[in-house]
Amino acid sequence: PCEICRMKLFCNATSPFARKVRVAMHEMGLSDRVEEVLTDPFAASPPPELLAANPLSRIPTLITDEGLALPDSKLILEWLQATQSNRLPVESARWAAARRATIAEGVIEAAVASVLEKRRPESIIMPAALDRQADAIERALDMLALESNALGDPAAVPSVANLTTGIALAYLDLRLPYLNWRQRAPSLIEWFDAFAARPSMLATARRQVNRQARHHVRRKTPDARDPESRYRSRTRRTGA
- Which amino acid is residue 82, in one-letter code? A
> How much is the pLDDT for 232?
63
> How much is the pLDDT for 240?
79
Return d(Cα 103, Cα 82) in angstroms, integer: 23
Residues 6+ apart with CB under 8 A from 165: 100, 101, 104, 144, 151, 188
Q: pLDDT-based confidence at 217, cuts 50/70/90?
A: very low
> How much is the pLDDT for 3?
58
Return d(Cα 231, Cα 122) in angstroms, integer: 8
Q: pLDDT-based confidence at 212, cuts 50/70/90?
A: very low
Q: For the residues of 177-194, what is the DSSP string, one character each?
A: GGG-HHHH-GGGHHHHHH
Q: Are 53 and 69 in contact (CB under 8 A)?
A: yes
Q: pLDDT-based confidence at 229, cuts 50/70/90?
A: low
Return d(Cα 52, Cα 72) in angstroms, integer: 14
Report the predicted TM-score, pTM, of the whole model to 2 decimal places. 0.87
